[in-house]
Structure 1
Amino acid sequence: METTQIKKQHWGEVAGKEVFLYTLTNSAGSELQITNYGGIIVSFKTADKDGNIGEVVLGKDTLEQYQENPSYLNVIAGRFANRICKGQFTLDGVDYQLAVNNGPNSLHGGAKGFDTKVWEIVEEGDQSLTIKHFSPDGEENYPGNLTVVVTYTLSDDNEIVIEYAAETDKKTVVNLTQHAYFNLKGEGSIVDHVLKLNCNAFTPYDETCIPTGEIRDVKGTPFDFTSPKRIGDEIDSEYEQTQFGIGYDHNLVINKPLGEYGLIGEAYEATTGRAMEAYTTEPGIQFYTGNWLEGDLGRNGEKLIKRQGFCFEAQHYPDSPNKPEFPSTELNPGETYTQKTVYKFFTK
């Protein structure tokens, strides 16, 4: 029997719309906080090996602070997560120009992506929260009226389950992700976390972080986490790709058939004994090590430091609309985009 409980509190207003903070607590004593502003995971606290409950995601203190969120802390990124080259793509012979907001490229849906929206509350369950966003045709210059529904569930097995669905009335492109920053120690750098990833390949990119189209084997590169390895072991290597990314900020290809649910990998932090497994139906993850976090505001008025959190952003590959060789991100009327991603926490 599930024993997760949900509490709701008023958290403020944005653009005249009420924003709430939801707190879900499970039988293990873990606590997940979510707001309908940007679908943000505000906090997740879970036990260490000694039973002490502590924070494992980065965050801010107030709704107002989340309205200045250059690092996209723990948001739902969309309509298209990650980068699109020069903000340009073509669908059925029609050219689209998106906002350019990351060097020469478009990132995470443009100037005002899904992370800046107040999502509608659909359902408040005992162990879950369902939110919805209607993105009108032409919002951020994307085609089609798109309706997105996301459900967060906190299980008694210490899983954060995120399920997405989206439908459109006109052909469009969709790529959604949860941009959570994890730190299983709760503070300091994440370079001592040990990872093992179920990824034999990655998509190298150019100096502007746009994939070249190559699918490259991780063997012999700093991206080989097929055996357990510290994040910091090769993060500052002279390898061209880690130089381009100032560390890891790359799409890795998950070893599983397209569309099937499977393991992304595991992270482990020895001093707390906390570990986390991640699973998804998506073909890739953007593995990002918080290389640009420095100076962004965190909790208690403290500035974040470089590499204070890492992200497993389950998603389709960057710039897919311009790379026909990549798995398609196109969505047609009558079809439903679906995605399921799970982060499971335990100690060892």
Structure 2
Amino acid sequence: MREVVKTLFGRIDTQDIYSYTFETDTGYRLTSMPYGATILNYVTPDKDGHFANINLRFDRLEDYLVKGPKFGASVGPVAGRIGQGKFELNGKTYQLPQNNKTNNMHSGLDGIHVALFEVEELTDCSVTFYTERADGFGGFPGPVKIWITHSLAENGTLTLTYEATADKDTLFNPTNHAYFNLSGDKSQLIDDFQLKLNVTGYYPLNEASLPTETIDSQSDFVQKLMAGTAIGAIRQSSHPQIRLAGGIDHPFAIDPKQEAAAEYYDPKSGRLLTVETDCDCLIVYTANNYNDFTKSKGHPAHNGLALETQAIPDAIHRAEKGQVILRAGQFLKTSTRYRATVR
């Protein structure tokens, strides 16, 4: 590994915000910043040895301060939707902001994607960001201490590790909202890229965009994704669930017998991105909706693929609620690895 490079990325009010770039001896690069514990660059080679950033991003810090798609940001303390924006824990009802129809989405506008983390530890291959959320902040009980580590291995593997502990029972279900475009060109759509999911099926969404109880492994589009298929063929299909979301925006149950949860491939560049995780659920999102600001920055819809590893959305209202309850004094740790290679 080469020596980490610290660069001024911008300012929030009067505070300087730096980015941190890690590079392997073979040329893989990772750049992260403390605002939102956000990935800025993940630079990988194609089959001809040409390097490009495969993570969608904005060029200026100011652009990240505008409500947008959370490019590369950490999401939490609870990723995904919470039905009706409320939950009950230990006999007490907590009301959260409803920022997605009647749901709370990605912990609302005060989620960790807008937190200015501290840099707690920095090495030539990793950075650990730290933040603390006060009791009641964003509607969640606390206080909660959160550590997020981004690390780059010599073979180019990007590992994201999330750790948390709390003084009282609360919820914790983080993820990262990176959008990957394996061509390295944000203007290119992902339709010709191939996606193979090692899952047992997907959870259909109800009218409130919340996952239903029953896993569907038989629908035609799920069978194609499990076998491996071009993304465009799925997102343009006439299946009611695809029409409902405007593309893929669904939770999939990861097959615990498989080492990888997903394999994402660009036949033209030869880039292959493999996702490995200790989480049970993978949210696949084909960038179906961007706001006008994001489009004005040169990002057309469907130009990236988000592969979000987490517990199932709305778990607190389901049998899986134990996966998202962080008990007082408990130390939780989860991690996801993105392996970028060529085929």
Instruction: Indicate the TM-score class for this superposition, using the shorter chain for normalisation.
Output: over 0.9
- Amino acid in the other structure paired with 1:78: G
Give the deviation of 1:104 after TM superposition: 1.6
TM-superposed deviation, 1:306: 1.0
Residue 252 of structure 1 is matched in structure 2 by 252
Q: SS state of the match for residue 111, structure 1?
A: helix
With normalisation by structure 2, the TM-score equals: 0.95
Q: Deviations over 1:34-57 (max 9, x none)?
A: 000001111122111111111211
Q: Which residue of 2 aligns with 1:276?
A: 273
1:286-340 CA-to-partner distances (Å, cap 9, x unmatched) read 1000001364437xx7321110000110000000111125662101012111111
1:14 deviation in Å?
2.5
Tell me, yes or no, if the aligned pair for 2:68 and 2:294 is still in contact at 8 Å. Answer: no
CA distance in 1, matches of 2:22, 2:138: 33
1: CA distance, partners of 2:72 / 2:246: 21
Report what 1:285 is aligned to. Answer: 282
Structure 1 runs of 4+ with >4 Å offset = none
Q: CA shift at 1:196, angstroms?
A: 1.1
**Contact 2:10/2:60 (8 A) holds in 1:** no
CA distance in 1, matches of 2:138, 2:297: 33
Normalised by the length of structure 1, the TM-score is 0.94
Equivalent residue letter for 2:145: T
Provide the rounded CA distance (Å) in 2 between the counterparts of 1:66 and 1:294.
13
Q: Confirm or deny that 1:323 pairs with 2:318.
A: yes
125-134 vs 316-325, which moves further: 316-325
- The one-character-per-residue Cα deviations of 1:186-231 (angstroms, maximum 9, x if unpaired) are 22101111111111211111122111222222x3331232212111
Match of 1:60 in 2: 58
Which residue of the partner structure matches residue 196 of structure 1? 196
Q: Which amino acid letter does the alignment assign opposite residue 273 of structure 2? A: M
The SS at the match of 1:186 is: coil
Corresponding residue for 1:135? Answer: 133
Q: Aligned partner of 2:262: which letter?
A: G
Residue aligning to 1:184? 182
2:263 to 251, 262, 266: 266
Q: Secondary structure at the match of 1:5?
A: coil
Alignment pair present for 1:336 and 2:308:
no
Matches within 5 A, 1:7-46: 7-14=5-12, 16-46=14-44
Describe the superposition over 1:128-172 as per-residue Cα deviations: whole angstroms up to 9, x where unpaired: 101101011101010111101011111111100111110011111
Matches within 5 A, 1:149-164: 149-164=147-162
Checking the alignment, whether the CA contact within 8 Å between 1:83 and 1:105 is kept in structure 2 is yes
Query: Percent identity between the aligned chains?
Result: 29
String of CA shifts for 1:246-294, please: whole Å, max 9, x gaps: 110011110017xxx9411211101111111110010011100000136
Structure 1: any 5+ residue segments left out of the alignment? none
Q: Does the alignment pair 1:126 with 2:152?
A: no
- For 1:112 and 1:210, how far apart are their aligned partners in 2? 21
CA distance in 2, matches of 1:68, 1:117: 14
Distance 1:274 1:296, change over 3 A: farther
SS at match of 2:135: coil
| Greater displacement, 206-215 / 109-118 | 206-215
Matches of 2:324 and 2:45, distance apart in 1:
37
Aligned partners of 2:124 and 2:36: how far apart in 1?
A: 21
CA distance in 1, matches of 2:15, 2:137: 18
The residue type equivalent to 1:212 in the other structure is T
Separation of aligned partners in 1, 2:76 and 2:320: 22
Answer with 287-296 or 93-102: which moved more.
287-296
* Equivalent position of 1:311 in the other structure: 306
Give the C-alpha shift of residue 4 in structure 1. 4.0
Report how far residue 13 of structure 1 moved. 2.9
Separation in 2 of the partners of 1:263 and 1:87? 32
Residue 166 in structure 1 maps to residue 164 in structure 2:
yes
CA distance in 2, matches of 1:148, 1:325: 22
**Corresponding residue SS for 1:250:** strand
Counterpart of 2:311, as a letter, is H
Instruction: Identify the residue that residue 237 of structure 2 maps to in structure 1.
Output: 237
Distance in 1 between the 2:166 and 2:320 partners?
23
- Rounded Cα–Cα distance in structure 2 between residues aligned with 1:304 and 1:295: 10
Q: Distance in 1 between matches of 2:292 and 2:40?
A: 19
Taking the aligned partners of 2:340 and 2:324, their CA distance within structure 1 comes to: 30
CA RMSD of aligned residues (A): 1.6
Relative to structure 1, the CA distance from residue 302 to residue 12 in structure 2 (aligned partners, 3 Å threshold; closer, same or farther) is closer
Contact 1:5 1:26 in 2 (8 A): no
For 1:7, the aligned partner's letter is V
Give me the whole-angstrom Cα distance separating, in 2, the residues matched to 1:137 and 1:202: 35
Partner of 1:110: 108
Distance (whole Å) between structure 1 residues aligned to residue 31 and residue 70 of structure 2:
16
Change over 3 Å in CA distance of 1:271–1:8 after alignment to 2 = same
Q: Which residue of 2 aligns with 1:220?
A: 219
What amino acid is the match of 2:334? Q
Paired with 2:2 and 2:264, the residues of 1 have a C-alpha distance of 25
